[in-house]
Structure 1
Amino acid sequence: MKTFKLMKIQIIEDETIRNFNLHDGLIINKEDDHQTWILEAFLDGSEAEYFKSLQQSKHDIEVLAVISNEKNDPAGLYAAVHEVKEIGDRVSVLFTAHMRNQRNEYAEELLAYILDNKNISGDELLAEFKHQMQEKPRIKK
């Protein structure tokens, strides 16, 4: 197993991305045959009910996790909320997850989206691509 610092966590809800105030977190690659990851996020206690409802739904959710360094691209995961534990005015949320896709798939999808939806080329295309790679918008397929 390998353990990394969780720097940022977001949940994709339909066409939006929900952000959280992450106080601390870690992500563990179990390095098993199923490519399982374990995430623990220490968040504001006001988020407890939200995560309890996700846990009760028993559906996988799409999670974006920035690992080790805030400048890293977010990793996409399909996750289930395993446990929600209130600790004082904070909440610890434990997820089990599997990686969603390879990092460059997003770049390819973004470039195709920009080419299909904007009438730009050359330097403008490059500038728009760099901007969108930093913003990481959700791309409709």
Structure 2
Amino acid sequence: MKTFKLVSLDVLEKQGEELTNRPINLIDGLIINREDDKNRWLIESFVDKQYESFFHRAKEFDQELVLQVKITKETNQPASLMVKIVGINEIGSGINVLFMGTLINRKQEKVEEMLQYLIEEGYQGEELLTMFKKKNKQGES
């Protein structure tokens, strides 16, 4: 297992057709790559009690949440995870919220978006493959 410092935590929420970002004021936290056969990550966050009812509701309804987290440094790119709450504990003036989930593969999302765009532009067959390879190389450089 590998453990990293959690430096930011946001919950993505769907409101109508829009995805909104709900920043969570993080007091402290860790994220642990369990390196198990299901590629699960454990996120331990220590937050203010103001979030207690929000997280209790999500746990009560066994709701899946999409989190955006930054590890180690604030300047790092956020990672997206699909999680469920596995525990909530009151600790002093705050609450400890434990999440378990898996990383959302953003690279895969980008590939799918690029393919969708090329198909909508009318590319197909060999031409689609050629254009996809060309665009993919441009994205890497």
Instruction: Classify the secondary structure of the residue corresponding to 2:100.
Output: strand
Partner of 2:106: 102
Residue 62 of structure 1: aligned partner = 66
Shift in alpha-carbon separation, 1:106–1:87, aligned structure 2, 3 A: farther
SS at the partner of 1:95?
A: strand
Distance in 2 between the 1:103 and 1:68 partners? 21
Partner of 1:71: 75
Counterpart-to-counterpart distance in 2, 1:37 and 1:82: 12
For residues 30 and 110 of structure 2, the distance between their equivalents in structure 1, rounded to whole angstroms, comes to 24
Matched position secondary structure for 2:59: helix
Runs of 4+ in 1 over 6 A off after TM superposition: none
Does the CA-based 8 Å contact 1:75-1:103 persist in structure 2? no
Q: Provide the identity percentage.
A: 38
Counterpart in 2 of 1:19? 23
In structure 2, give the amino acid aligned to 1:89. Answer: S
**Cα deviation 1:48-87 (Å, max 9, x = unaligned):** 1111111111121111010111111110100001111111
Closer/same/farther in 2, CA of residues 109 and 7 from structure 1, 3 Å limit: farther
Q: How many residues align?
A: 112
Whole-Å separation in 2 of the counterparts to 1:68 and 1:91: 21
Structural RMSD (CA): 2.1
Structure exhibiting the larger radius of gyration computed from Cα positions: 2
Q: Which runs of 5+ in 1 are unaligned?
A: 114-141
What secondary structure does 2:60 align onto?
Answer: helix
TM-score calculated relative to the size of structure 2: 0.73
CA distance in 1, matches of 2:84, 2:5: 19
| Cross-structure match for 2:47 | 43
Q: What SS does the aligned partner of 2:27 have?
A: strand
Report what 1:8 is aligned to: 8
Which stretch of structure 1 is more off in the superposition, 101-110 or 31-40?
A: 101-110
AA partner of residue 29 (structure 1): N
